A and B are shown apart, each in its own frame.
Chain A
């Protein structure tokens, strides 16, 4: 079965302190690795999709990278408004109707 493990569970950063979130995955035939941001009491907001090892995507202070076993979400010079839970999900070859397997997320807190 496809599996996703995210680490750390929680991360506290001072504003401007860059760091990375990890998403390790096991999947049969990757058909996409997805990053979402979720604010408390809201639905996940789509950030990135990565399809193959070596691929990278950037959006403002966020950069997602992908290897054959894991993905990193790099946060450069974070601001308090970047505080949220970041979810990683994968879709495998055997995924029925496009279902995603989610990790538990990393709760990021950025303090001024």
Chain B
């Protein structure tokens, strides 16, 4: 149980295009989902927290107009990187948590590798 999936696992795009990443909780309802990015040999940096049906809460320094987050249902959150540039190339990981599920642990998706040319 407690499986989180991400799609796509890898994407390469041209500079200026937008990329959408999906995060799904497969066997539980996630009231809260988190989006992280991770640079090589660095730890996870929280970008934003999203709750189903409400606006995402962004961390300081994260541009909300560039990284659009939609948490449309209890099993799906999407991150759209708008007008992507090479500096947006990174490993994006989502996680999901459900109150009462396994002590409120966060369960992580497998990540999405974004490369912007």
Interface on A for B, CB 8 Å cutoff?
A: 32, 34, 36, 41-46, 49, 87, 91, 96-100, 102-105, 107
Q: Which residue of A44, A87, A97, A100 is within 8 Å of B57 (Cβ)?
A: A97
Interface on B for A, CB 8 Å cutoff?
A: 2, 4, 6, 32, 34, 41-44, 46, 49, 51, 57, 91, 93, 95, 97, 102-111, 113
A32 and B106 CA atoms in complex are apart in Å by 11
Interchain CB contact under 8 A, B113 and A41:
yes
Residues of A within 8 A of B105 (CB): 34, 46, 49
Interface of A is mostly: mixed
A78 and B95 CA atoms in complex are apart in Å by 28
Residues of A within 8 A of B108 (CB): 36, 43-46
In the assembled complex, the CB of A49 is this many whole angstroms from the nearest CB of chain B, namely: 5
Interchain CB contact under 8 A, A102 and B104:
no
In the assembled complex, the CB of A81 is this many whole angstroms from the nearest CB of chain B, namely: 18
Interchain CB contact under 8 A, B49 and A99:
yes
A42 and B107 CA atoms in complex are apart in Å by 13
Interchain CB contact under 8 A, B44 and A44:
yes
Interchain CB contact under 8 A, A104 and B32:
no
Contacts A87-B43, A87-B44, A105-B43; A44 near B93 (Cβ below 8 A): yes
Interchain CB contact under 8 A, A102 and B51:
no
A102 and B4 CA atoms in complex are apart in Å by 19
In the assembled complex, the CB of A105 is this many whole angstroms from the nearest CB of chain B, namely: 6
Interchain CB contact under 8 A, A99 and B111:
no
Interchain CB contact under 8 A, A42 and B110:
yes
Residues of B within 8 A of A49 (CB): 103, 105
